[in-house]
Amino acid sequence: MGKILSFVSGKGGTGKTSLCAAIGSCLSAMGDSVLCIDLDIGLRNLDLALGLGALPQLAFTDLMRGSYSADDLAPVEALGGLRLLTAPVTVTPDEIDEAAFAAFLEDCRERFDWTLLDAPAGIGTGFALANRYADEQILVTGGDGAALRDGASAAYLLVQKDKPAKCIVNRVTPKLFRKMRRTVDDAMDAVGLSLLGVVPEDESVPLAAASEAPLVLYGASPAAKACLRIARRIKGLPTPLGVR
């Protein structure tokens, strides 16, 4: 039986989608079957983060409504066979049939080792939809004050679900933290969740996005290495956080 992970953030701009794509790619490269699902209805970007923007993709509603099945999803061999479902553009979050969505995710749990849900930023309908059916919740936050404040608000809602919830602090710049007299521990305390990993600020992330290439295939960047450590920790493998 596979697991469903939700990737959420309290605000936009934390790099949540990039991390969801990179961590999913790492899990796939480690031999696990992985399905990434973009839940940002109307504003889909997960395909770009995976370097698949130029290819036609099925929406998760296509499978949810029975028009297609998981067998119709083409594996991305360059990413270890990872599969992607994008978000629909012709419906709103409130139009999603939750019973059908729940049944669809149950089928995903049966078919894949990991199903990663890339929720829209903020704490609206998509946030609630992702976390309602996730087995584990992952909050992505930055280290600045605004991101931590919004992350704390999102974290409060996550812990109400009585499910495992952890945070990733993204785009960490040691020099900036020193000037702000802040540490990763301070960020953890501000959000109120245990730490799953730390990802440094890395120019490879926007360069990979501009090149429409998956981060994990864009050289041995510090951010890609951090995502591999996080993927190992998600799998329960003894792995240091890599906090410097």
CB 36 within 8 A of CB 240: no
Three-state DSSP at 130 gives helix
pLDDT at 244: 47
Which CATH number fits the domain that encloses residue 17? Answer: 3.40.50.300
Own/partner pairs, 204-213, CB within 8 angstroms, 24+ separation:
205/15, 205/18, 208/51, 209/18, 209/48, 209/49, 212/48, 212/51, 212/53, 212/54, 213/51
For residue 34, the cross-strand partners are: 114
Structure tokens given for 161: 């679900």
The β-bridge relationship of strands 194-200 and 165-172 is: parallel
Ranges of residues in the chain whose predicted pLDDT is under 70:
174-184, 219, 242-244
pLDDT at 10: 92
The model's pTM: 0.93
Structure tokens given for 179: 């000037």
* Residue 241 in domain: no
pLDDT at 36: 98
> For 69-99, what is each residue's pLDDT tens digit?
998 998 988 899 999 999 998 888 888 999 9
* Residue 242 in domain: no
> For 30-47, what is each residue's pLDDT tens digit?
999 999 999 998 888 999
CB 46 within 8 A of CB 36: yes
* Residue 63 in domain: yes
* Residue 153 in domain: yes
* Residue 240 in domain: no
Domains: count for the chain: 1
Chain position carrying tokens 């996080």 = 230
CB 158 within 8 A of CB 36: no
* Residue 243 in domain: no
Domain that holds residue 28: 3-234
pLDDT at 20: 96
